[in-house]
Chain A
Amino acid sequence: MHGFANPARFLRLARWMMPLLLVSGLLLSMGAVLYGVLVVPPDRLMGETVRILFIHVPAAWLGMAGWSTIAIASLVELVWRHPLAAIAGRAAAVPGAVFTAICLATGSIWARPTWGTWWVWDGRLTSFLILLFLYFGYIALSGAAQRDMAGGGGGNRITAIFGLVGAINIPIINRSVVWWNSLHQPPSITADKSAIDGTFLWPLLIAALGFSLVFGGVVVARMRTLLADIQAEARLRRKAMA
């Protein structure tokens, strides 16, 4: 793993990974969402509003996958002190927060005609809103750590601890509809069966794959930017010293 300790090796890989991920992801997700909006038949009960599924569910998945990325990066930062770990966690935070916000917004729009309300404080909705606030906290903390690099990287460790502690919310979100009575429906897709008809399921899975590739592309792009920032700052500091 320490083969990537030298950012130059990562940057060589990132240079062709980034456009590949972004282009394939955009094509897949746009295709699947357009198919979901234009072709898929309306739902038996929900009618046309079922189409929001193709954005809401992939966004929810990436909101949670984003924090899982942060948690893994935090663990690697704390235990192995890998130089790219803090950067990876920081790079995943903003796209994760954006997808979390998209999930909350689309869910709210869907809830108004379906449930008859924009928002309720049930277990699933509340824990997902907390996830958005955790993202805001993480983004602020990692930004402060970045500006305080002279402090010897202690800020990165504080950020990583916050990333790990915040990860406790992920299983809570996942289990919230099982543990507690909630207005949000229980999981439709489990390991052995799907309560979503194939007509809806396939475009949904392709949209989820496409969104994930876009997410990966954005994370790689942000890692490149953050590395370039650090290099530029280091160069300035050397100049100031000389």
Chain B
Amino acid sequence: MNTRVSGGIKPKHQRLVLIVIALVALIGAGLLAAYALSNQASYFYVPADLVKNPPEQGRAIRLGGMVEKGSLKTRSDGVTIDFVVGDGKARVPVRFTGITPDLFVEGSGVVAEGRMEKQTFVADNLLAKHDENYVPRQMGDMTPEQAKQVVAETK
């Protein structure tokens, strides 16, 4: 087809080399873009981010982390709850008024939408974050050792 290729390289191989170069450039550009986006593309801040770089008071942000065990308290009005979101490095107290999603329990992940007011995060909306673990209900109540035993027995 194309007989003018210099150096006797087959057109097929020339195309392959060109496409490999183009792909390397493309992947490099994609990785650079993803790296540059690493802060902007995150869906929420973790408590450590909020403590390190405190956002302006009243700016709408999202806070994500684990609901600390034993921190969840319902106020006397019955619909306002207080709890602490932690990520192992920092802790942020959160206040929320409204209906919580089913999966919102102590010790599980949560994403709260709202703003900082003084030292408290006031949430307008709570989203439960499901982790990567899928465990049947019967085994969820057991300790990991018991569950392992049951799995071993049923195999």
A interface residue numbers (CB < 8 A to B): 40-47, 50, 53, 75, 78-80, 113-117, 120-123, 164-165, 168, 171-172, 175, 179-183, 185-188, 195-201
CB distance from B64 to the nearest CB of A (A): 6
B139 touches A44 (CB 8 A): yes
* List of A residues within 8 angstroms of B136 by Cβ: 40-44, 197, 199-200
B130 touches A195 (CB 8 A): no
CB distance from A105 to the nearest CB of B (A): 18
The segment out of B41-49, B50-58, B67-75, B76-84 that lies at the interface is B41-49
B15, B108, B133, B141, most chain A CB atoms within 10 A: B133
A79 touches B16 (CB 8 A): yes
Q: Which of A115, A116, A164, A199 contacts B23 (CB 8 A)?
A: A164
B127 touches A116 (CB 8 A): yes
Extra pairs beyond A45-B140, A181-B43 (10, CB < 8 Å): A42-B136, A43-B136, A116-B101, A121-B43, A179-B38, A183-B64, A183-B111, A195-B131, A196-B132, A197-B136
A79 touches B12 (CB 8 A): yes
B19 touches A43 (CB 8 A): no
Interface size on B, residues (CB 8 A): 45
* List of A residues within 8 angstroms of B137 by Cβ: 41-44, 47
Q: Which of B16, B130, B132, B139 contacts A115 (CB 8 A)?
A: B130
Q: Which of B16, B27, B131, B151 contacts A198 (CB 8 A)?
A: B151
* List of A residues within 8 angstroms of B23 by Cβ: 164
B134 touches A50 (CB 8 A): yes
Complex CA gap A17/B87 in Å reads 52
* List of A residues within 8 angstroms of B129 by Cβ: 115, 183, 185
A181 touches B130 (CB 8 A): no
CB distance from B150 to the nearest CB of A (A): 10
Digit string of B99-111 for contact with A (CB within 8 Å is 1, else 0)? Answer: 0111111001001
Q: Which of B15, B108, B134 contacts A195 (CB 8 A)?
A: B134
* List of B residues within 8 angstroms of A53 by Cβ: 134
A180 touches B133 (CB 8 A): no
Q: Find the A residue at minimum CB distance from B42.
A: A181
Per DSSP, chain B at the interface is mixed
Q: Which of B30, B64, B134 contacts A171 (CB 8 A)?
A: B30
B44 touches A168 (CB 8 A): no
CB distance from B51 to the nearest CB of A (A): 16
B105, B111, B127, B134, most chain A CB atoms within 10 A: B134
B126 touches A181 (CB 8 A): no
Supposing A78-B19, A200-B136 touch, asked if A120 and B34 sit within 8 A by C-beta, the answer is no
* List of B residues within 8 angstroms of A187 by Cβ: 132
A188 touches B133 (CB 8 A): yes
CB distance from A151 to the nearest CB of B (A): 16
Top 10 A-B pairs ranked by shortest CB distance?
A44-B140, A116-B101, A122-B43, A181-B42, A41-B136, A188-B132, A196-B134, A168-B30, A195-B132, A180-B42
Complex CA gap A183/B46 in Å reads 12
Q: Find the B residue at minimum CB distance from A122.
A: B43
Q: Which of A117, A165, A175 contacts B127 (CB 8 A)?
A: A117
Instruction: Name 30 A/B residue pairs within 8 A (Cβ), A-sorted.
Output: A41-B137, A41-B138, A43-B135, A44-B139, A47-B102, A79-B15, A114-B130, A115-B103, A116-B100, A116-B101, A116-B103, A116-B128, A165-B26, A168-B27, A171-B30, A175-B34, A180-B41, A181-B64, A182-B42, A183-B43, A183-B64, A185-B129, A185-B130, A185-B132, A188-B132, A195-B131, A195-B132, A195-B134, A197-B135, A197-B136
